[in-house]
Amino acid sequence: MAEISAYTYANMNLNVLKGKLGDLSAAGTTVKCALLTESYVPAQNRHEVFTAPEWQSGTSYSVGDYVIPSVQNGHIYRCITAGNSGTGEPSWPTGVGDTVGDGTVEWECIANGDLAFHEVEGIGYTSGGQEILNKIISQAEGVTTFDGDNVVWPNSTITARYAVIYEVSTGVLLAYQDFGENKSSSSGSFEIQWNAEGIFAITAVQAV
């Protein structure tokens, strides 16, 4: 496989500013790469987390909290009005930006936002993906670059269309890679070889 670089999710910079992400190269920070099927539809400006806790009745939710339905449907729901959830699970909408009331809470549908729902299954693959080891962050001339070891699933039988990179403790999405078509392994190694210049980079540009 040719060397590839990942595309950053647009909200990653905002998450850094909000303090949702610390030093990605820190020893106590776990960053993983997961593989997704072609059923995933990337939404660079709307997808923020890898997955979320299951909805609970009679629970206090704050604006910005995420949940998934008890019967997963591939979508994730963001709290846009804080309050307490009802006694019965709402009928979850599936359209982009659709909303639903739930007790005193209001939820907005983030279509295809439950990335774990779209995760591959196969021999040699473990849910959640592979940890990226030997992480490093470097900065030079307004460019911040994240890099780490290649990820490999040895002795695997996998078919994947996308790879996503996320921070485990927060679930915050960092970057994704579209392979352009399904890539497969059959009782062999499925390896992602990152670009020699880094997995992804953020460039600071002065506003005009």
pLDDT in tens, 117-139: 999 999 999 999 999 999 998 88
Q: Are residues 109 and 120 in the same domain?
A: no
Indicate the number of domains in the chain: 2
Whether 93 and 74 map to the same domain: the answer is yes
Q: Are residues 137 and 162 in the same domain?
A: yes
Q: Is 2 within the bounds of a domain?
A: no
Tell me, yes or no, whether 51 lies in a domain. Answer: no
Model pLDDT for residues 34-56, shown as the tens digit of each residue: 999 999 988 877 898 999 999 99
State whether 35 and 120 are in the same domain: yes
Using one digit for the tens of pLDDT, what is the confidence trace for 156-196? 999 999 999 999 988 989 999 999 999 999 999 999 999 98
65 domain-assigned: yes
Q: Final residue of a domain: which of 90, 113, 136?
A: 113
Q: Are residues 126 and 183 in the same domain?
A: yes
Distance CA 202, CA 134 (A): 19
Range with the lowest mean pLDDT among 58-72, 73-87, 141-155?
141-155
Give the 3-state secondary structure of 154-178: EEEEEEEEEEEEEECCCCEEEEEEE
Q: CA-to-CA distance for 41 and 39, rounded, in angstroms?
A: 6
| Boundary of a domain, candidates 78, 98, 113 | 113
pLDDT band of residue 17 (cuts 50, 70, 90) is very low
pLDDT at residue 5, as a whole number: 65
